[in-house]
Chain A
């Protein structure tokens, strides 16, 4: 049995300028929660480390203020927030309200 699952991580609203690509298909450990995904993003996807605070907080335990997270186009505020368990095939979207310009 594989111990990783395929998911898509999507960035929008300006968050895409902080990472490698707007949408990325990646493998993450099975039974990961949204909080684990944040750490995965910090360690593997963020390219603009100088502005990482526009996406994640200092220890990547939460998103930065003004960043909205969706799982399969559903606001995680309606799910179990950071404790939501990610399943194979899920799409996790980070939408930023912080405009750079």
Chain B
């Protein structure tokens, strides 16, 4: 079959935006179909509307933003969106002053070097004229504000401490949760050091939907909204999740069609998986999707965005580890995490 003469067996399905033959679907194949051009536009619009609805960049003085790149397809998508938005010369130009933060999570020196080599290639193709900083997630272990060097991977000297702290957590579910909290601590520390209060992360709908269920299981149901929606404001730090409505499927098809899938950083690993609430959640969602319940993630996120804590932490007090609203120094979940940790490395995060 010739590519240009390809006739689809779609039972007359046409793009929902124009009259061309449909080629791609959104999350639920039964709900909406798009031609290639409209699919790309639809995904791009989801990203732009997540930012514009919250009016995040209405203040002309605070446009500096850390753009987190973690090597994932969603990370490459985020870089491409920022790169594309900055090149616009029309009113659609995104008023943001980006600094790219490459967040490294592998701990093997050879793999870290591989990441640094790949970053050099990616820099020449995307956001070449902005500052790039490479930092290991172990930067969370710094006790003082530190200067960051943009010629090396910052924080590698803290990797042993970071590994020791995670290993000290004896329950796999809490260890996974501690990893997530430490990633946020790391972003907050780097943000403070660079005096950039906004931080854009590549967390997509699939990640956030799973996170919402994980947090329900961990007892943080009352504070779901700031954890999984676009905006998470914390004192002088703001986490922005512009991909919260974009699914992984949409991201990878967009990357494939726009030729940016080559900007991901793949690292060969093992398939070993420890049983935890997080792995069970993932398995639960996969089963539902295999049974063609495609809208589960959307429903979970839509419901989660409406859940706010009305009782605890009304005076503005927060858990010193995970920063959810809490009347006590530690929320019940973080208290349980601390109890399962041997050693005292975790105590440096607790005021």
Residues of chain A having any CB pair with chain B under 8 Å: 12-14, 17, 50-51, 53-54, 65-66, 68, 72-75, 77-80, 84, 87-91, 93, 95-97, 99-101
The 7 A-B residue pairs with the shortest CB-CB distance, nearest first, are A101-B267, A87-B1, A77-B29, A97-B248, A74-B23, A72-B6, A13-B252
- Expressed in whole angstroms, the minimum distance between the Cβ of B33 and any Cβ of chain A is 6
Residues of B within 8 A of A51 (CB): 268, 271
Most buried by A among B1, B264, B289: B1
> In whole angstroms, how far apart are the Cα atoms of A29 and B136 in the complex?
50
On chain A, the residues within 8 Å of B3 by CB distance are 72-73, 89, 91
Checking B6, B261, B264, B269 against A74 with a beta-carbon cut-off of 8 angstroms, the contacting residue is B6
Minimum Cβ distance to chain B for residue A59 (Å): 15
Within 155-191 of B, Cβ neighbours of A (below 8 Å) are at none
Interface residues in B, total, Cβ within 8 A: 39
**Residue pair B1, A97 in contact (C-beta under 8 Å):** no
| Contact status B23-A79, CB under 8 Å | no
Known pairs A87-B1, A99-B72; list 8 more (Cβ under 8 Å).
A12-B252, A17-B268, A68-B253, A73-B3, A73-B23, A75-B25, A99-B264, A100-B266
Q: Do B23 and A13 touch (CB < 8 A)? A: no
Q: CB within 8 A of A97: which of B10, B252, B268?
A: B252
**Given A51-B271, A90-B1, are A101 and B71 also a contact pair (CB < 8 Å)?**
yes
Chain B residues near A95: list those with CB within 8 A.
Answer: 252-253, 256, 261
Report yes or no: A97 in contact with B269, Cβ–Cβ below 8 A: no
Contact check, A93 vs B106: say whether CB atoms are below 8 A apart: no
Cα distance, A93 to B265, chains bound together (Å) = 20
CA distance A74 to B289 in the complex (A): 20
| B209 interface contact, C-beta 8 A | no
Alpha-carbon gap, A90 to B8, bound state (A): 12
B1-60, CB < 8 A from A: 1-3, 6, 8-10, 13, 22-25, 29, 33, 36
- Write out, one digit per residue, whether chain B residues 259-302 have a CB within 8 A of any chain A CB (1) or not (0): 00100111111010000000000000010011000000000000
Does B215 make an interface contact (CB < 8 A)? no
Most buried by A among B73, B251, B289: B73
User: Which chain B positions have C-beta within 8 A of A73?
Assistant: 3, 23, 36, 257
Closest to B106 in A: A101
